[in-house]
Homo-oligomer: A and B are copies of this chain.
């Protein structure tokens, strides 16, 4: 599906579109453009984008900030009945954090062959976490490609 088509409210595409908007913010701030939202009961409870450059901190990935922020919102550290939407396949650090959070679902856009968590055995995720991939994949990966093309110029 093309992301410019009509999107059904509260669908995976709908929330991924919000994560992509976060990725655009990162792009504009000269950060590797990855964005995330966390949704609970059809409501976005956390929004974030990669801030590793601005914060000088390798742990400031979009997902890590979203996990901290959602736990803060919920008043508890476990993200049960929550879904993370993230534009790029989480890295191993973020997958480890998601495992600790026991999040219910993870939906990501583009795959990340070099850094993605799916390279690892055993799976770094919690065994009950459901994973969906490839949602609005093209838009997320094009944004990252544009970022690195811009960097090379």
Contact = CB atoms under 8 A, between A and B. Distances in A.
A93 B99 CA distance: 9
A130 B120 CA distance: 20
Count identical subunits in the complex: 2
Interface stretch (A2-10, A23-31, A50-58, A136-144): A50-58
Interface stretch (A12-20, A33-41, A64-72): A64-72
Contact of A52 (B77, B94, B99, B122): B77
A92 interface: yes
Contacts of A77: 52, 56-58
Interface residues of A, number: 29
Contacts of A121: 120-121
A119 interface: yes
A101 interface: yes
A119 B92 CA distance: 13
27 contacts: A56-B71, A56-B72, A57-B67, A57-B68, A57-B71, A58-B71, A58-B77, A58-B97, A58-B100, A58-B101, A59-B59, A59-B97, A59-B100, A91-B100, A92-B92, A92-B93, A92-B95, A92-B96, A92-B99, A93-B93, A93-B94, A93-B99, A94-B96, A95-B96, A119-B122, A120-B124, A121-B121
